[in-house]
Chains A and B, each alone.
Chain A
Amino acid sequence: MDFTAEQVERYSRHILLQDVGVEGQERINKGKVLVIGAGGLGSPVLLYLAAAGVGTIGIIDGDEVDLSNLQRQVIHSTPTIGMPKVLSAKETMNRLNPDVCVVTYHELFTVGNAFDIIKEYDFVIDGTDSFPVKFLINDACVMAKKPFSHGGILRFDGQTLTYLPGTACYRCVFHGPPPSNAVPTCSQAGVLGAIAGMLGTIQAAEALKFLTGTGELLTNRLLTFNAKTMNFRTVKLKHNANCPVCGEHPAIAELVEAEQAVCELKKKS
């Protein structure tokens, strides 16, 4: 890949990095990343991946921009209220960096489309708030041997882990979604908007590290933080032999559509 003078200038701060350089930037420009959910986590992820020049960025989200989203979903803006989130996000990304090819899927991520969509990408990012979809992303990525980043936020807390084939997966930690009445979602419990930015930018950094082969990914580790104390903690994880999807006797052999515990916010809109 030959960079134009404009691209050399645009990506100069990456190219200057010893661990990235021209070669790493080329890998970024050839990279394909899928972001599931163009919301609180998806917004910073999509902005930083577009700014970095990731060649193809897929966005899947079936929702439209709502006024209550704008407290944290910084890729959208007041004039795009009512617009499909995938298109609102694409507009912002195209303005930020016309180099990037943005592929939009204005639909839900389901058992029916999961494998077909993720096979087009090198790395997948979970930015959804649906518990069943979080597990569906995990299962599809484990079965398709696709690297992905899990992210979750609530109130003042966030957590994330990165999966590579063979490392501890999300189900190694949490076997399945808790009962829907047990767990508050962001729309019920609230979330500090900036938390989404803190966690999403960590996920974006993991994607860029993966594409460039730089550093150590958050594999076999769960990073958790609390913004009230600003304590960050990395918990070592071991692959769980009893994991229902990647353990020794997996109970889950194919993708299953779990009952949907939809975010309260969505029910209202």
Chain B
Amino acid sequence: MGRIKVNDEVQEVSLPMTLAELMTVNKVLQPDMLSIQLNGEFVEKESYAATTVKEGDEVDFLYFMGGGL
């Protein structure tokens, strides 16, 4: 187990874990709606399955929000 931060909140997860797995753990229903920053750097969608999260990492899940009218 290890501690990381997702959207500023501490999560205990079993490391190592990929960003794709972290999305599943966090019940992201629509991966198409998400952009991810890992320690302040954007990760390309194609790399989610190959990018692993380490102890102390900070992950931001940014959701696409299209409404306005």
Task: List 20 A-B residue pairs with CB atoms under 8 Å apart, sorted by A's residue number.
Answer: A37-B68, A37-B69, A39-B69, A42-B69, A129-B68, A130-B66, A134-B66, A151-B68, A153-B65, A157-B65, A173-B62, A178-B30, A183-B30, A186-B68, A191-B67, A224-B62, A236-B40, A238-B42, A240-B42, A265-B69
Contacts of B35 in A (CB 8 A): 173-175
* Binary flags per residue of B27-69, CB closer than 8 Å to A gives 1, else 0: 0001011010100111010000000000000001011111111
A172 to B42, CA, bound (A): 8
> 10 additional contacts, CB 8 Å, given A128-B68, A158-B65?
A130-B66, A154-B67, A174-B35, A174-B64, A179-B32, A183-B33, A235-B60, A236-B40, A238-B42, A242-B42
CB of B66 within 8 A of CB of A131, answer yes
CB of B66 within 8 A of CB of A129, answer yes
Residues of B within 8 A of A (CB): 7-8, 30, 32-33, 35, 37, 40-42, 44, 60, 62-69
CB of A40 within 8 A of CB of B68, answer yes
For the complex formed, measure the closest distance between the CB of A70 and the CB atoms of chain B, giving whole angstroms.
13
Smallest Cβ-Cβ distance to B60: which chain A residue: A235
Partner of A178 from the list B41, B62, B64 (CB cut-off 8 Å) is: B64
Contacts of B32 in A (CB 8 A): 178-179, 182-183
Chain A interface residue number, banded = 35 or more
CB of A233 within 8 A of CB of B7, answer yes
Residues of A within 8 A of B (CB): 37, 39-42, 63, 69, 73, 126-131, 134, 151-154, 157-159, 172-175, 177-179, 182-183, 185-186, 189, 191, 196, 222, 224, 233, 235-238, 240, 242, 263, 265
Smallest Cβ-Cβ distance to B65: which chain A residue: A152
For the complex formed, measure the closest distance between the CB of B52 and the CB atoms of chain A, giving whole angstroms.
20
Contacts of A157 in B (CB 8 A): 63, 65
CB of B68 within 8 A of CB of A39, answer yes
Partner of A127 from the list B41, B64, B66, B69 (CB cut-off 8 Å) is: B69
Contacts of B63 in A (CB 8 A): 157, 159, 224
CB of A186 within 8 A of CB of B62, answer no
A186 to B69, CA, bound (A): 8
A177 to B66, CA, bound (A): 9
A232 to B40, CA, bound (A): 18
CB of A159 within 8 A of CB of B65, answer yes
- Which of B8, B30, B33, B67 has the most chain A CB atoms closer than 10 A to its own CB? B67
A183 to B35, CA, bound (A): 14
CB of A152 within 8 A of CB of B68, answer yes
Contacts of B67 in A (CB 8 A): 40, 129, 152-154, 185-186, 189, 191
